[in-house]
Structure 1
Amino acid sequence: MAKLGKAVISGAGAYVPSTIMTNQDLEKLMDTSHEWIATRTGIHERRVIDETENTSDLAYKASLLALEDARLEPKDIDFIIVATETPDHMFPPVATKLQTLLGCRTIGAYDVHSTCVGFISALQIAEQFTKIGKAKHVLIVGADALSKIVDYTDRSTAILFADGAGAFVISQGNDTDGEGIIDSAIHSDGQFYEDLYVSGGSSRARDNSDYNVPKIKMNGNKIFKLAVNAMSGSVKDLIKKNNLEYNDIDWLIPHQANQRIIDAVARNVEFPTEKVINNIKYYGNNSAATIPLAFTKARAEGKIQRGDRIVLTAFGGGLIWGSLLFQY
C-alpha cells in the first residue's frame, strides 16, 4: 500500500463585516443590559452583515486572504468545501458560488451542513483528499450570517450569534513540511436534536408561521452542560490517543460559543488559560467561522507560530462535537 502523504495548512485568512452590533445596541431592541450579556457570555460586540452582503461574500473575502497567504492563485485550487448553516439560498451550495466568484476551474465544490463543527468536518474531508493524492490544494471555508436567523426578541439567543468567515488552504505536504494534520474525531448524538435547531425554512414549513420563518431555538442550560462535557471529553480522548501530554500542546482553540463554556472546557482539561485562544469578546459566535477566525487573528497577533501544535474543538446542534490535532 502506498504511503499516505501529509495534509498541511498552507494558508489562512478571515473576514468579518464592518458593521458592529454592541451590547448597547441590543439594549435598544430587548430587555437586557451590557452587564447582563457580558457576565453571562463574555461578548461585548459582534459583527453583522448589511443588506448588500451574503454568506458567499463573506466566504469570498476570507478565501482571497487565505489564497494570498498560501501564495496561490484560484486556478491552483482543486476542490472547495464550505461549512455553513446560512447559505445564500437553500440550494445550490455556497461553494459553487464561491468557485465562480474566485474564477476557479470547474472543480468540485460542495457545502457541509455540520453546525458549529462544520469547519472541523471540512478539515477532515480536505485531509483525506490531499493525503490520498486526490487533490493538491483544497480550499475550505467556514462562513455564516447568523444575524439573518436570529430572533431579536429572544434574549437567550440574540446576544450570542454573529456573522463572519474564515478560510484555510489545505495542501499536500512533503517530508520537509511540519506534521500537518495529525488526528481528528467527530461524534454525534441525535437524542438532543431539538435542544438547538432552526425552526423554519425547511421541509417542516406549514401554514403555521413559526415553521416558515427560520429562527434559532435553543435550550441554553442543557446546551451549556452538553457542550462543556462533549468538548472536554473529545480533547482528552484525542490527546490520550496520540500519546501526548497537555504540555505537548501549544494552543487550544475552542469554538467561540460562550466565554463560560470556553473557561469550563479549559478547566476540565486542565489547560492553562494563557494557552487558550479566545476572541469571543469582539466577534461573538459565528458558528463554522469561529475557529478559523480565532486562528487567523491569533496568528496576526504573533501568538501562533509555525511549528506550534494545536488542538481545535467544537460543539453544535445535532448534537455534533469533535476535535482535531495538527502541527502548524
Structure 2
Amino acid sequence: MSTPARITAIGSYVPDQVLSNADLERMVDTNDEWIVQRTGISERRIAADGQFTSSLCIEAVRDLLRRYPRAIDDVDYILVATATPDMSFPSTAALVQAEFGMRRAGTADLSAACAGFVSALHMAGGLIAGGAFRKILVLGAETLSRITDYTDRTTCILFGDGAGAVLVEAGEPDEERSWLAAHAATDGLDGHQLYRAATADRIGGQAVDIGGKLVQNGRAVYRWAVSRVPEEIGAFLDEAGVSPEEIDWFVPHNPNMRILEAMSGRTGIPLERTVTTLARTGNTSAASIPIALREAAADGRLQPGQLVLLYGFGGGLTQAGLLLRWTL
C-alpha cells in the first residue's frame, strides 16, 4: 500500500511595495477603469531592490512557521516552482535550504510557469507515495517584475511578485487519502504564444525575441485558456468520477478575471466557489495558487474534509491539476 501525502502547513508572502493602476497610468497609455474591466486587477506587489525569488521564498517559509510551528530541520526535499529563479545555479531551492540549514534535504527548481506549483505537488505526492521521502517543502514563487516589459501596456498591467509554501508530509497507511487524482496536459506547439527566451531564438519553427522579457500573445493565450483549459478540467473530473457540483473550492491559477469568469461558465464551477487574490496581487504565475490557498485557509473558507481542485495553466502551454481532500 502506498503512503498517503497530505499538506500539513502553509504560508505565503508578498512584497510591501505596491504598484497600483494609478502608478501604471503614469507609465503607459492606460487607466484604472480599463485595467479593472479587462483584468479585475487593482494593484500588484513588486519586489524591492535586493529582493529576489529566494528572498520571497524565505519569507513565505517564515510565515508558514509562524502560523504552523513545525520542525523543518528534517525536511527531505525542497522543490521550488519558478520561472524567475535567482540564477541558473545554484537553484533557488538550494538558497532556501541554506537559509534554514536543512542539511539532509535534496533541492531542485521546477520550471512549468503558471502550472509549476501544482506540478511540484504532483512530484511531492509521488515521492512520498513511493516511499522515497516523508517530508517535502514545496514552494511557488516569482519575481515577474524583473522580466516584465513596462513599456508594453498589454502585459505590464498583469504581473506581480509573491511566494507561497506548503509542507507536504507522509501520513499513516490507513488514513483517508488527501491526494485523490492528478492531471496534466501540454500544447507545446503553441509555446511561442507565451514565453521568455534564454539562449534559443526559436520555439519549434517560430522565431522568438531573446531580449529576456516575458512575451505574450494575449489573444491567443486567452482563446487557449477559455477553450482548452475548461475542456481538460472537464475530462479530469470525469476521469476522477467527480462532478463540478461536488467541488467545494476551486483554486486555479489567477491570470485575469475575464479568463476566470469564462472558465466558470464552461466548467460549471461557480465563481462563488473560486478562490482568487487577483485584485490585490495581480498574476503571480507559480505563486498564485499557494497565495490563494493560504488566504482561504487563514480566513476559514478551507475546512478539513472539503474537496479542493487546484489547477495551474500557462506558459508551455502547460496544464496541471490536482484533486485534494483538504486535511489542514
> If the length of structure 2 is used for normalisation, what is the TM-score?
0.94
Tell me the amino acid that sits aligned with residue 199 of structure 2.
S
Residue 10 of structure 2 aligns to a residue in which SS? strand
Name the counterpart of 2:205: none
Give a deviation string over 1:95-146, Cα, whole Å, max 9, x none: 1111111111132100001110000110000001111111111000000000
- Structure 1 distance, partners of 2:220, 2:263, is 15
How far 1:306 moved relative to its partner?
1.4
- Structure 1 distance, partners of 2:235, 2:69, is 35
How far 1:255 moved relative to its partner?
0.5
Give a deviation string over 1:195-231, Cα, whole Å, max 9, x none: 00114x43549xxxx63x4111111011001012232
Q: Is the 8 A contact 2:76 2:104 kept in 1?
A: no
Name the counterpart of 1:121: 119
Name the counterpart of 1:165: 163
Q: Residue 176 and residue 326 in structure 1: after superposition, are their counterparts in 2 closer, same or farther (change >3 A)?
A: same
Name the counterpart of 2:206: none
- Structure 1 distance, partners of 2:228, 2:100, is 37
Q: Is the 8 A contact 1:15 1:62 kept in 2?
A: yes
Residue 314 of structure 1 aligns to a residue in which SS? strand
- Structure 1 distance, partners of 2:174, 2:67, is 19
How far 1:322 moved relative to its partner?
2.2
- Structure 1 distance, partners of 2:60, 2:176, is 24
Write out aligned runs for 1:227-246 (5 A): 227-246=225-244
- Structure 2 distance, partners of 1:189, 1:231, is 11
- Structure 1 distance, partners of 2:152, 2:101, is 40
Tell me the amino acid that sits aligned with residue 235 of structure 1.
I
Name the counterpart of 2:78: 80
- Counting matched residue pairs gives 320
Q: Which runs of 5+ in 1 are unaligned?
A: none
How far 1:92 moved relative to its partner?
2.0
Tell me the amino acid that sits aligned with residue 88 of structure 1.
D
Select which of 285, 288, 293 maps to 1:287.
285
Name the counterpart of 2:271: 273
Name the counterpart of 1:298: 296
Residue 294 of structure 2 aligns to a residue in which SS? helix
Segment drifting more, 28-37 vs 173-182: 173-182
Name the counterpart of 1:140: 138
Write out aligned runs for 1:1-328 (5 A): 3-174=1-172, 177-199=175-197, 201-204=198-201, 211=210, 213-328=211-326
Residue 155 of structure 2 aligns to a residue in which SS? helix
- Structure 2 distance, partners of 1:266, 1:104, is 41
- Structure 1 distance, partners of 2:175, 2:199, is 44
Q: Is the 8 A contact 2:75 2:104 kept in 1?
A: no
How far 1:69 moved relative to its partner?
4.4
- Structure 2 distance, partners of 1:254, 1:285, is 11
- Structure 2 distance, partners of 1:178, 1:98, is 31
- Structure 2 distance, partners of 1:48, 1:249, is 33
Identity of aligned pairs, percent? 36
Give a deviation string over 1:48-87, Cα, whole Å, max 9, x none: 0010211001011112233454542221211000000111
Give a deviation string over 1:7-42, Cα, whole Å, max 9, x none: 101111110001011000000100000011110000
Residue 75 of structure 1 aligns to a residue in which SS? coil
Q: Is the 8 A contact 1:230 1:315 kept in 2?
A: no
Give a deviation string over 1:165-196, Cα, whole Å, max 9, x none: 00111111125644211111111111101100
Q: Is the 8 A contact 1:10 1:69 kept in 2?
A: no
Q: Is the 8 A contact 1:231 1:322 kept in 2?
A: no
> If the length of structure 1 is used for normalisation, what is the TM-score?
0.94
Q: Residue 311 and residue 81 in structure 1: after superposition, are their counterparts in 2 closer, same or farther (change >3 A)?
A: same
